[in-house]
Amino acid sequence: MIDRDEVLHVARLARLALSEEEIAPMARELSAVLDHIAKIGELSLENVAPTSHVVELSGALRPDEPRPCLPREVALAQAPAVGGDGFLVPSPQA
Amino acid sequence: MSREILELSAAQAIGAIEARELGAEELFDFYRERAQRDAAANGEGLNCFTWVADESTGSDEPGMAVARPLAGVPLAVKDLFCTRDVPSQSGSRILEGYLPPYTATAVERLASAGAPLLAKTNQDEFAMGSSTENSAFGPTLNPWDRTRVPGGSSGGSAAAVAAGLAPWALGTDTGGSIRQPASLCGIVGLKPTYGSVSRYGMIAFASSLDQAGPLTRDVTDAALLLGQMVGRDACDATSLEFPESIATPSAERLDGVRLGVPRELRGDGSDVGIEPGVREAFERTLVLAEELGATLVEIELPHAPHALSAYYVLAPSEASSNLARFDGVRYGLRAADATDLLDMYTRTRRDGFGPEVKRRIMLGTYALSSGYYDAYYASAQRVRTKIAEDFRTAYEQVDLIATPTAPGVAFGLGEKTADPWAMYLSDYFTVPMSLAGIPAISIPCGLSTDHAGAGPGGAGLPVGLQIAGPAFSENRLLDVAHALERALGFDGSRARA
**Residues recorded for chain A:** 94
CATH class in words for B2-256+398-495? alpha beta
Give me the percent of chain A exceeding a pLDDT of 90. Answer: 79
Cis peptide before B130 (omega within 30 of 0): no
Torsion of CA B74, B78, B79, B81, to 10 degrees: -90
- By C-alpha distance, the chain A residue nearest B324 is A14
**C-alpha triplet B86, B89, B95: angle, nearest 5°:** 115
Determine the average pLDDT of the residues in A66-94. 93
Distance from the B310 Cα atom to the nearest Cα atom in chain A, whole angstroms: 7
Q: Which residues of chain A are within 8 Å of residue B191 when distances are taken between CB atoms?
A: none
Mean pLDDT over B159-173 rounds to 98
- pLDDT of res. A58: 72
> Which member of A14, A16, A80 has the closest CB to residue B328?
A80
Would you say the ipTM is above 0.85? yes
Cα B78 to its chain centre, rounded Å, is 9
Residue-wise pLDDT tens digits, B447-461: 999 998 999 989 999
Q: Sorting pLDDT into bands at 50, 70 and 90, what band is A53?
A: confident
Q: Which of B148, B186, B182 is nearest to B411 (CA)?
A: B148
* Bridge pairing between strands B168-173 and B75-78: parallel
pLDDT tens digits for B216-248? 999 999 999 999 999 999 999 999 999 999 999
Q: What is the DSSP letter of B66?
A: T
Give the 3-state secondary structure of residue A77. coil
Domain edges within chain B: 2-256+398-495
Give residue B385's pLDDT: 97
CA-atom Rg of chain A in angstroms:
22
- Report whether pLDDT(B1) > 70: no
Q: The dihedral of CA B438, B441, B446, B449: what is its sign?
A: positive
- The mean pLDDT of B262-281, rounded to a whole number, is 85
Question: Of all helices (H) and strands (E), which one includes residue A71?
Answer: none
Positive or negative torsion for Cα B360, B366, B368, B373:
negative
Burial class (CB in 10 A: 0-12, 13-18, 19+), B269: exposed
CA distance B408 to B120: 27
CB contact under 8 A, A90 and B353: no
- ∠ CA B184-B189-B193, rounded to 5°: 135
Q: Where is mean pLDDT largest: A60-69, B274-283, B450-459?
A: B274-283
Residue of B nearest to A86 (CA): B330
Q: What's the CATH class of domain A1-42?
A: mainly alpha
Give the mean pLDDT of chain B: 95
Q: What is the pLDDT of residue B394?
A: 98
- Domain ranges for chain A, please list them: 1-42
pLDDT in tens, B90-119: 999 999 999 999 999 999 999 999 999 999
Neighbours of B453 (CB within 10 A): 10
For residue B80, give the nearest of B41, B134, B35, B38 by alpha carbon.
B134
